[in-house]
A and B are shown apart, each in its own frame.
Chain A
């Protein structure tokens, strides 16, 4: 009998600090067997990968889109499908697609039929438009300028045809972000909140809620300084310096940056993480001022689809968005997409000189 436990019945459970679990026991048996020994893969159809190991073993993967934020009913349904039509193992991709692995080619078609029957689109492989990497938005974030899951749902409704095909010049990665921090990350095309007015300060709350030196230090352009307002210690903003990034809002919620009208959406293109062909690239802002218009953000959808349509028609095989624009040049990008090139798209942040054309390389 453990005396210590008896004396302290109310002792709280100590966490088992186990860290990252070993993934070996979760692997499909064929993946465990051929770990590190795969030879090649091909894609028998969109949404299906076929990997062949040096041992001769083969495995088929069926990839399907999900809504990412899933209710337990949906997850159990996905598990039922895995148990009945696959072999009890699944994995998720970085873009929240689910993957089912099977050991026989003849299991692929019934699995696809079952997934599609329940509304899970099969695709997202190869030269498709895959699921949009996204954030939390109004559902859970404490600083969101817009929603995430809703924007993604609305856009994927429009892009699902390209999710299920492999007809784009190369893979297309999309992301959305509900503030300028850009948790969504670099992508071929990204939709990001762009605030257009400085924060509105509630001076009654600043002294109690915000650690003022921290907030001052957070500002990228040193536009915030301590001030006494109405006899209370608060903060003030030099609005001629402020570029409305919203960096002060997370450490100081009384500095409200989100505005139903003035928080707009911007579109960025040409981000790429892969080293294939050119080095990884940052995406560039190409449009802004789009209204934050729930529940389906139609104005954003129009611009996104226009850029993707032009890219699909004009890019050569294997050109990612960035590769395509490298070939045709920015003037033609704006011409073809009919997007206005405004003065706001010329960089004036540090390092901007490297974005200027220091040559006579000009296309006519």
Chain B
């Protein structure tokens, strides 16, 4: 039995209502832990004064420079003594989850046992970067908890100016839209940079995220310094039985208004069967005895909409891989940035393919480490130095897929134009000869 609970009239109101309550959970823990009784006391104070009372500091585990988020209370009386003395330290361990965040119950129960013993008993599945967050331990207990979690085969994630913990979608494990082995790519890339995860020494954070298709369920385009988003190069696959089944259920209005009209490039057409084109870039499938869908895949931007609506009837092609975008980030300092395409397509099937992605990550991080200013993300660095300088630094050739439009102003010195053209022509000839 723990000590008596503090009055928490504000937090109590968060026990009302139908959604699961974290306050009820904390109160359960507080039955046995003075630590959580006082955590609730401090949190209630925040609810009353509308102020936060945790400050950072330096806490770590032996051998690593990051992965622990230290928190010390600043809620002190006039003599400098903590108001809630049983909860003056509330550090978090960031632990990297398996790709796709799959668990068996034995693993989760072991986590619970360890965290009940050494920590507050509060675990968040998961933080915004994807970490399992073991929230709330004293400085003395951080190492003990880590040692046991580490013995289970789990390792700390990133914090500070480091390569950060990554996420991938459920992907190949359960999703028909998966265009590459997200888990393998995530693990191969991340485990190459363990030193940069555990010993923060980059200019600022660097995030990789892995989405299996352009639906981008990992929100990688706006958050990841390097977003790996699945796509395909060949034609959308079709299944006539399922297409007819879809049409029988949904009808012409839905097909026209929800699918045809929403195709961003209008390459998705509805035609009488007798008028349907054939050709190497055409996907077509009958939806009734009279009508068929026709897609010219050269004009398809792989947005996923028609496939999302008519899953099973339509599917991504077989020549799958990923696009790589660099430089996504949130607000600070220059405003939110979306990632920019730097690799329109790369295969990710063989170990050699995945190694190419790892190499690209390595070159990007090396360039970032050398060239970014302190506290500057890749997107900000690229904005400052220009995309061309970045591409040359990471040895990637320019490609019109990298821009929405070519430049709209003449403010550029072009006296190297002829040399560039000669270079491009030489590469063309080389490619033709190789073919």
- Where the two chains meet, the residues of A that have a C-beta atom closer than 8 Å to any C-beta of B are 12-28, 31-32, 35-36, 38-42, 51-52, 59, 61, 65-76, 78-79, 82-83, 88-94, 96, 98, 101, 119-121, 133-147, 149-150, 153-154, 156-157, 160, 180-186, 214, 217-218, 220, 245, 247, 253, 258, 260, 263, 271, 273-278, 280, 282, 292, 294-296, 316-318, 349-351
Check B333–A218 contact: CB distance below 8 A.
yes
CA distance A141 to B16 in the complex (A): 25
Check B47–A295 contact: CB distance below 8 A.
yes
Check B331 for interface membership: any CB of A closer than 8 A: yes
Check A140–B69 contact: CB distance below 8 A.
yes
Given A41-B176, A183-B330, residue A90 in contact with residue B103 (CB < 8 A): yes
CA distance A18 to B146 in the complex (A): 13
Given A147-B46, A273-B219, residue A88 in contact with residue B99 (CB < 8 A): no
Partner of B98, one of A23, A38, A280: A23
Partner of A26, one of B102, B109, B156: B102
CA distance A28 to B258 in the complex (A): 35
CA distance A162 to B166 in the complex (A): 30
CA distance A335 to B220 in the complex (A): 33
CA distance A292 to B196 in the complex (A): 38
Residues in B neighbouring A69, C-beta threshold 8 A: 22, 25, 122-124, 135
Check B125–A31 contact: CB distance below 8 A.
no
Given A15-B146, A133-B128, A276-B305, residue A157 in contact with residue B10 (CB < 8 A): no
Check A38–B178 contact: CB distance below 8 A.
yes
Given A67-B20, A295-B14, A351-B335, residue A141 in contact with residue B311 (CB < 8 A): no
Check B54–A282 contact: CB distance below 8 A.
no
Check B312–A40 contact: CB distance below 8 A.
yes
Name the residue in A98, A101, A133, A276 with the highest tally of chain B Cβ atoms < 10 Å from its Cβ.
A276
Shortest Cβ distance from residue B103 to the other chain A in the assembled complex, whole angstroms? 5
Nearest-CB residue, chain B, relative to A30: B174
Residues in A neighbouring B251, C-beta threshold 8 A: none
Cβ contacts A to B, 8 pairs, < 8 Å:
A35-B181, A38-B175, A69-B135, A138-B51, A142-B54, A153-B22, A273-B216, A278-B303
CA distance A181 to B128 in the complex (A): 13
Residues in A neighbouring B222, C-beta threshold 8 A: 185-186, 271, 273, 280, 282
Nearest-CB residue, chain B, relative to A38: B176
Residues in B neighbouring A316, C-beta threshold 8 A: 257
Name the residue in A157, A271, A273, A282 with the highest tally of chain B Cβ atoms < 10 Å from its Cβ.
A273
Residues in B neighbouring A271, C-beta threshold 8 A: 222
CA distance A294 to B13 in the complex (A): 10
CA distance A207 to B213 in the complex (A): 50
Given contacts A16-B150, A72-B116, 19 further A-B contacts (CB under 8 A): A13-B147, A15-B64, A15-B146, A17-B194, A20-B155, A40-B312, A71-B26, A79-B109, A150-B22, A150-B23, A157-B18, A180-B331, A186-B219, A260-B51, A263-B50, A277-B264, A280-B221, A295-B10, A317-B254
Given A20-B191, A41-B311, A274-B215, residue A67 in contact with residue B19 (CB < 8 A): yes
Given A36-B178, A38-B174, A275-B214, residue A282 in contact with residue B100 (CB < 8 A): no
Given A88-B104, A183-B128, A318-B262, residue A144 in contact with residue B52 (CB < 8 A): yes
Nearest-CB residue, chain B, relative to A31: B173
Check B393 for interface membership: any CB of A closer than 8 A: no
Within 8 A of A (CB), among B207-260: 214-223, 229, 242, 254, 257-258
Given A66-B125, A90-B108, residue A274 in contact with residue B374 (CB < 8 A): no
Check B19–A157 contact: CB distance below 8 A.
yes
Check A275–B330 contact: CB distance below 8 A.
no
Nearest-CB residue, chain A, relative to B18: A160
Check A75–B108 contact: CB distance below 8 A.
yes
Size category of the binding interface on chain B: 35 or more
Check A150–B25 contact: CB distance below 8 A.
no
CA distance A61 to B170 in the complex (A): 12
Name the residue in A138, A186, A214 with the highest tally of chain B Cβ atoms < 10 Å from its Cβ.
A138
Check A19–B194 contact: CB distance below 8 A.
yes
Residues in B neighbouring A137, C-beta threshold 8 A: 52
Residues in A neighbouring B386, C-beta threshold 8 A: none
- Where the two chains meet, the residues of B that have a C-beta atom closer than 8 Å to any C-beta of A are 10-11, 13-14, 16-23, 25-26, 28-29, 43, 46-47, 49-56, 61-64, 69, 71, 90, 92, 96-105, 107-109, 111-112, 115-116, 121-128, 135-136, 143, 146-147, 150-151, 153-156, 166-167, 169-170, 172-176, 178, 181, 183, 186-187, 190-191, 194, 197-198, 214-223, 229, 242, 254, 257-258, 262, 264, 301-305, 308-309, 311-312, 315, 330-336, 338, 373-375
Nearest-CB residue, chain B, relative to A132: B19
Nearest-CB residue, chain B, relative to A296: B13
Shortest Cβ distance from residue A319 to the other chain B in the assembled complex, whole angstroms? 9
Residues in A neighbouring B136, C-beta threshold 8 A: 140
Check B264–A278 contact: CB distance below 8 A.
yes
Partner of B187, one of A19, A35, A78: A19
CA distance A135 to B330 in the complex (A): 14
Name the residue in A17, A24, A135 with the highest tally of chain B Cβ atoms < 10 Å from its Cβ.
A17
Check A274–B214 contact: CB distance below 8 A.
yes
Check A59–B103 contact: CB distance below 8 A.
no
Given A39-B176, A140-B71, A317-B254, residue A247 in contact with residue B128 (CB < 8 A): no
Check A142–B56 contact: CB distance below 8 A.
yes
Nearest-CB residue, chain B, relative to A51: B174
Check A220–B333 contact: CB distance below 8 A.
yes
Check B333–A35 contact: CB distance below 8 A.
no
Given A22-B187, A141-B54, residue A294 in contact with residue B332 (CB < 8 A): no
Residues in A neighbouring B115, C-beta threshold 8 A: 72
CA distance A79 to B175 in the complex (A): 24
CA distance A88 to B108 in the complex (A): 11
Shortest Cβ distance from residue B199 to the other chain A in the assembled complex, whole angstroms? 10
Residues in A neighbouring B312, C-beta threshold 8 A: 39-42, 52
Closest 10 CB pairs of A and B: A40-B312, A157-B17, A71-B25, A23-B98, A138-B46, A260-B50, A19-B191, A275-B214, A156-B19, A72-B112
Given A154-B14, A273-B222, residue A40 in contact with residue B19 (CB < 8 A): no
Check A74–B16 contact: CB distance below 8 A.
no
CA distance A20 to B352 in the complex (A): 20
Partner of B242, one of A31, A40, A51: A40
Shortest Cβ distance from residue B348 to the other chain A in the assembled complex, whole angstroms? 12
Check A18–B155 contact: CB distance below 8 A.
yes
CA distance A22 to B186 in the complex (A): 10
Nearest-CB residue, chain A, relative to B126: A92
Check B304–A276 contact: CB distance below 8 A.
yes
Residues in B neighbouring A24, C-beta threshold 8 A: 183
Residues in B neighbouring A182, C-beta threshold 8 A: 330-331, 336
Check A72–B29 contact: CB distance below 8 A.
yes
Check A20–B122 contact: CB distance below 8 A.
no
CA distance A65 to B18 in the complex (A): 11
Residues in B neighbouring A35, C-beta threshold 8 A: 172-173, 181
Given A19-B191, A26-B107, residue A274 in contact with residue B216 (CB < 8 A): yes
Nearest-CB residue, chain A, relative to B189: A20
Residues in A neighbouring B333, C-beta threshold 8 A: 218, 220, 247
Nearest-CB residue, chain A, relative to B170: A91
Nearest-CB residue, chain A, relative to B146: A15
Check A94–B217 contact: CB distance below 8 A.
yes
